[in-house]
Amino acid sequence: METWFVIISSLCIAALIKPLLNLIVSPSSSDHKKNLPPGPTSVPLISTLLWLRKSFSEMESALRSFRAKYGPIITVRIGSRPAIFIGTHTLAHQALVQNGAVFSDRPKALPTSKIISSNQHNISSAGYGPTWRLLRRNLTSEILHPSRVKSYSAARQWVLGILINRLVVESQSAAAVEGVRVVDHFQYAMFGLLVLMCFGDRLDEKQIKEVERVQRQMLLGFRRFNILNFWPKLGKIVFRNRWQEFIQFRQSQEDVLIPLIRSRMEVVKQRQQGKMEPDKESVVAYVDTLVDLELPDEKRKLNEEEMVSLCSEFLNAGTDTTSTALQWIMANLVKYPHVQTKLYKEITSIVGPSPQLGEKNKKADMLMLNEDDLQRMPYLKSVVLEGLRRHPPGHFVLPHTVTKDVELEGYLVPKDATINFLVADIGWDPKVWDEPMEFKPERFCTNNNTSDGGGPADLFDITGSREIKMMPFGAGRRICPAAGLAVLHLEFFVANLVWYFQWTAMEGDTIDLSEKQEFTTVMKYPLRAHISPRGLSQNQLRVKSWASSTPSLHLPRLSFYFDLTMLCIYEDIYAFVYLIITCLTLVSRSVHFSSLASIEFLHPISYAVWLPYFILFTLPETISLVSHLLTLSLTAPAKQTNVSELSR
């Protein structure tokens, strides 16, 4: 063997051994000198790959066990940077509130986030600097200011009308036998509301669904695209199809959102030029506030892609989080009927009995609880807070980083580390909360009799500025800027949904509260509930209780007997046709066959056609038949007299 080959090989091996030894790193041993928070031993690359393969719940339970082993602040090596997790409320307060200016930066965006955020030109991903300040101040002062939030009241009413309508329709459909699956309706309602706040228009169902589709496909696919960030240059070759899919998702997002942005900008332009008067129902939309913004570093206006990123952030941040929280709260109200009853009593004691669901209440003129009513409902506030504590939609905040090396709890938090917080665990800390895993809204009341006007849950500081006890919205300078709006939305929908409907579990269903990770932490088994309108007249209530034994079949069954009677009496061809339709409806309901279920719409139509016919032709006949029978019965005693006379 050539000497040069031996020398070069030895040098290569020596060069490899050092990094290999360095690869086996334990923050608890070698990093001790640097004083990084402790954590498990890790082998870069391999550890990262193992982490990426873990499901979210596996990651969370691993972090919990590290926390038990190493203490409230731990380091895990995922990727090239150390990831530091903070697991107690006191340390979270020290970092986010007392050291807020240092802990409020965001890490450099990974390749996929870079595309989605238009190179960190949105609020949640922008570094702690002038761009972030400008964008965040724009959102808080232009959209989230209390007077502006009030101006969206008609929008909330509109969406509530749609939601109630959808729930009523589904609860009367064939599928209701298995309970109404509410999550899709909640998501749709939140999209409808946020889309209106974003683009200023009441879009139709097709448009809202289109926006929902492009937003959710990106949101739900995001975890799948994480692998693309691992080794981006190689990843683009190895995962070529996935990259293309990702780019395609972003493209379809732009295809749907850009026309909406353009048409809104046209409205703004026309108004500025005085060519268009704002109509009665017009609101200031998020897009309106972006048109004239100028980026401080680059001294230029936002381009369309950046507007897409900001609108997309607005929609995603506000829809999935709120609809997830709403579902968790309603699930607990179904699981614990005594909480629902107490809440219902509070609502009716303030605003009176539930309204009836009639024509008048269906759309814009529908009765609803408004913001002022909600302010007088302390138990409602406690229910919402307890929902957010027990089931925070995000079990972590968005990753933070520090602006410079800093010390926390005697450990070094280096500038390149990502920092996160065990949000769920902080809200479940048994040292802070009594029986933390129980759903007990009363814990937020200063006395246990809030319905009598006691205990204001509004004294509870959800921002954590004085002390952090739970942090579903984060804390400090990066706290969710829309925490107030989100709580209002939750109170508004929970109160109205409980005022309008009684929510009960389906027979045998104990309401499983297991979790599953999507963009937020959602219910593994989405809530299915029996929903019955509370505002019923006495007669409706009687019919309802009579029919409850066969909830999905009683109406068509009634029609069946009615039609059969008509057929027997009048041998009527129309009655025969209705009988056939009713039979089909009955069959469709009992076999839950979707194509047959569509026959149900014939039912009201057939009666609409039949009613005038009945009044014109059949009713006079019925009246004459009844009067004939009456005459018979009235003349009967006279006949008896005659018989007795004869017998005499």
Q: Which stretches of the chain bind ligand HEM, using CB under 6 A? A: 123-124, 136, 313-314, 317-318, 321-322, 325, 393-394, 397-398, 472-474, 478-482, 485-486
Give the DSSP letter string of 490-516: HHHHHHHHHHHEEEEEPTT------EE
Q: How far is the CB of 142 from ligand HEM (least distance, A)?
A: 12
Q: How far is the CB of 596 from ligand HEM (least distance, A)?
A: 40
Q: How far is the CB of 327 from ligand HEM (least distance, A)?
A: 11
- Could you give the CA distance from residue 181 to residue 608 in angstroms, rounded to a whole number? 30
Q: How far is the CB of 487 from ligand HEM (least distance, A)?
A: 8
Give the angle subtended at the CA of 483 by the CAs of 478 and 487, to the nearest 5°. Answer: 165
Q: How far is the CB of 140 from ligand HEM (least distance, A)?
A: 9
> Taking the chain, what is the end-to-end CA distance rounded to the nearest angstrom?
148
Nearer to ligand HEM, 318 or 455 (CB): 318
Q: How far is the CB of 222 from ligand HEM (least distance, A)?
A: 15
Q: How far is the CB of 443 from ligand HEM (least distance, A)?
A: 19
- Could you give the CA distance from residue 608 to residue 219 in angstroms, rounded to a whole number? 45
Query: How many other C-beta atoms can be found within 10 angstroms of the C-beta atom of residue 577?
Result: 16
CA–chain centroid gap for 21, Å, is 48
The 8-class DSSP code of residue 95 comes to I
Nearer to ligand HEM, 290 or 597 (CB): 290
- Could you give the CA distance from residue 547 to residue 541 in angstroms, rounded to a whole number? 10
Q: How far is the CB of 440 from ligand HEM (least distance, A)?
A: 20
Nearer to ligand HEM, 393 or 556 (CB): 393
- Could you give the CA distance from residue 428 to residue 433 in angstroms, rounded to a whole number? 7
Q: How far is the CB of 97 from ligand HEM (least distance, A)?
A: 11
SS3 letters across 46-89: HHHHHHHHCCHHHHHHHHHHHHHHHCCEEEEEECCEEEEEECCH
Nearer to ligand HEM, 103 or 501 (CB): 103
Nearer to ligand HEM, 328 or 574 (CB): 328
3-state secondary structure of 194: helix
Pairing label, strands 501-505, 528-533: antiparallel
Nearer to ligand HEM, 82 or 394 (CB): 394
Nearer to ligand HEM, 124 or 131 (CB): 124
Biggest CA pair distance of the chain: 150
Phi and psi at residue 532, in whole multiples of 5°?
-125, 135
Nearer to ligand HEM, 124 or 340 (CB): 124
CA 639 to each of CA 632, 635, 636, 643: distance values in angstroms, whole numbers, following the listed order = 10, 7, 5, 6
Nearer to ligand HEM, 317 or 347 (CB): 317
